[in-house]
């Protein structure tokens, strides 16, 4: 299949034109209810892996729409299937994913819908993601219920409300629970406070960084703070190592290839007058290129071995929980772009120029099926809108209806394309 045919074509857009007025009318009628839904979720955040009330709330909303849904056996997350027309085993399944967990941090906003759960906050916008996907389900269900059977071909849309994104566990759970079974393409979104409401960010190809968690254990001989000569001083060695890696990694990676190494925690010692025998260092390595990743991992291992020889400490380095990059498929990304053009106009499409160095377990889905994640502009008119993971993060709530209108159109486009999808994801 040619590069051109691997993207949405004008003829594809014509297929959803008959439903545009209905989609927008429903959105206008239901926008205030969707905002209430979002505020309800925002006030009741639950941490990763513990989203039981959130899952039951989502299930209730879907049941009210007459959309078949279930909570997997682990008790968190929801899988819902909307089947339109004479769906068969060969009908293409388009999945739409939202993450539902919150962060372990305070919510310090002075609003009526601030978190009621101390130490927990939807500061990453997952309440908005959930609301957009619930609204998308309502839009598509209403279109199906009000359209003549001859107007819509058989379609199968699956909605995945995923737990535990912040701990990078939930996508794996959802896949294990059958969320991707039979899926041809998957759609995702993330709110972006760097983009104003009414605009959508897209990127073809690599969207987010590969993330590796790193743990380094320095084990040696401790002793009295007055006599460091009798110790191997693991704290001094740890300070040397962190400083050396912070200098060496940027100088070893291609400056044109984004690479970020960050130490997030150093643990060691119990008192001011005791040199401990162990120090633990925790951090992350974020890369956007496989060759650079391997080069930096080798450098870290080599520097740890050299430090061990030079200081007399045993240095053990482990890389764990690798999470790949979100690599946006060309066909699915072009569907987002075309749908945004219909809803907001082509001038409202923001072409993201460089990958984010953040991680996102949506990557686990696109490793198996073609997919794309859009950035939903959520910044209001304030000069400096609060950023993600801020204790005062919020969204301009007009973004919910905008996101639902675009997501519903994108799902319809991909479900209604008459030709077969290319056999493998592409990023041209």
CATH class of 4-207+325-416: alpha beta
pLDDT given at position 61: 98
User: How much is the average pLDDT of 126-154?
Assistant: 91
Task: Using the predicted structure, report yes or no on whether residue 2 has a pLDDT greater than 50.
Answer: no
Task: Using the predicted structure, report yes or no on whether residue 158 has a pLDDT greater than 60.
Answer: yes
Q: Would the pTM of this model clear 0.85, i.e. be above it? A: yes
pLDDT given at position 44: 98
Residue 371 pLDDT class (50, 70, 90 cuts):
very high
Q: What is the mean pLDDT of the chain?
A: 95
CATH topology of domain 210-323: Alpha-Beta Plaits (3.30.70)
User: How much is the average pLDDT of 161-173?
Assistant: 97
Task: Using the predicted structure, report yes or no on whether residue 372 has a pLDDT greater than 90.
Answer: yes
**Identical topology for domains 4-207+325-416 and 210-323:** no
pLDDT given at position 147: 80
pLDDT given at position 427: 61
pLDDT in tens, 6-35: 899 989 999 999 999 999 999 999 999 999
Give the residue extent of every domain in the chain: 4-207+325-416, 210-323
Residue 420 pLDDT class (50, 70, 90 cuts):
confident
User: How much is the average pLDDT of 410-415?
Assistant: 97
pLDDT in tens, 210-248: 999 999 999 999 999 999 999 999 999 999 999 999 999
pLDDT given at position 149: 62
HEC-encoded secondary structure of the chain: CCCHHHCCCHHHHHCCHHHHHHHHHHHHHHHHHHHHHHHHHHHCCCECCCCHHHHHHHHHHHHHCCCEEECCCCCCCEEEEEEECCCCCCCCEEEEEEECCEECCCCCCCCCCCCCCCCCECCCCHHHHHHHHHHHHHHHHHHHHHCCCCCCCCEEEEEEEECCCCCCCHHHHHHHCCCCCCEEEEEEEEEEEEEECCCEEECCEECECEEEEEEEEEECCCEECCCHHHCCCHHHHHHHHHHHHHHHHHHHCCCCCCEEEEEEEEECCCCCCEECCEEEEEEEEEECCHHHHHHHHHHHHHHHHHHHHHHCCEEEEEEEEEECCCEECHHHHHHHHHHHHHHHCHHHEEECCCCECCCCCCHHHHCCCEEEEEEEEEECCCCCCCCCCCCCCCCCCHHHHHHHHHHHHHHHHHHHCCCCCCCCCCCC
User: How much is the average pLDDT of 341-358?
Assistant: 96
pLDDT given at position 1: 42
């Amino acid at each position: 299949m040619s590069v051109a045919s691997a993207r949405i074509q004008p003829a594809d857009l014509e297929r959803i034109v008959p439903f545009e007025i209905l989609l927008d009318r429903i959105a206008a009628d239901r926008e205030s209810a969707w905002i209430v839904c979002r505020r309800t979720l925002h006030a009741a955040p639950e941490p990763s892996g513990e989203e039981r009330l959130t899952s039951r709330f989502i299930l209730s909303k879907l049941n009210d729409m007459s959309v078949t849904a279930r909570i997997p056996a682990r008790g968190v997350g929801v899988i819902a299937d909307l089947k339109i027309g004479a769906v068969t085993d060969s009908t293409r399944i388009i999945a739409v994913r939202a993450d539902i967990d919150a962060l372990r941090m305070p919510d310090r906003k002075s609003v009526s819908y601030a978190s009621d759960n101390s130490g927990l906050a939807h500061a990453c916008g997952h309440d908005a993601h959930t609301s957009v996907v619930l609204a998308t389900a309502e839009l598509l269900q209403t279109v199906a219920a009000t359209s003549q059977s001859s107007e819509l071909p058989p379609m199968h849309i699956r909605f995945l409300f995923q737990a535990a994104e912040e701990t990078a566990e939930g996508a794996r759970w959802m896949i294990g629970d059958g969320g991707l079974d039979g899926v041809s393409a998957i759609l995702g979104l993330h709110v972006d406070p760097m983009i104003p409401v009414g605009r959508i960010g897209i990127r073809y190809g690599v969207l987010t960084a590969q993330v590796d968690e790193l743990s380094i254990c320095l084990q040696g001989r401790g002793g009295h703070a007055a006599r460091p000569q009798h110790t191997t001083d693991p704290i001094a060695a740890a300070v040397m190592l962190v400083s050396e890696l912070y200098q060496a990694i940027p100088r070893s990676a291609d400056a044109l290839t984004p690479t970020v190494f960050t130490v997030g925690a150093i643990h060691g010692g119990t008192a001011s007058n005791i040199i401990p025998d162990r120090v633990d260092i925790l951090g992350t390595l974020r890369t956007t290129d496989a060759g650079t990743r391997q080069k930096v991992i080798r450098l870290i291992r080599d520097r740890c071995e050299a430090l061990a020889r030079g200081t007399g400490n045993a240095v053990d380095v482990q890389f764990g929980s690798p999470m790949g990059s979100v690599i946006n498929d060309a066909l699915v990304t072009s569907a987002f772009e075309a749908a945004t053009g219909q809803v907001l106009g082509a001038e409202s499409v923001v072409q993201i120029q460089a990958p984010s160095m953040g991680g996102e377990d949506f990557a686990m889905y696109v490793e198996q099926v073609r997919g794309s994640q859009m950035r939903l502009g959520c910044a209001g008119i304030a000069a400096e809108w609060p950023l993600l993971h801020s204790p005062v993060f919020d969204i301009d709530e007009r973004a919910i209806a905008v996101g639902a209108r675009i997501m519903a159109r994108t799902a319809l486009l991909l479900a209604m394309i008459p030709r077969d999808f290319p056999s493998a994801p592409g990023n041209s």
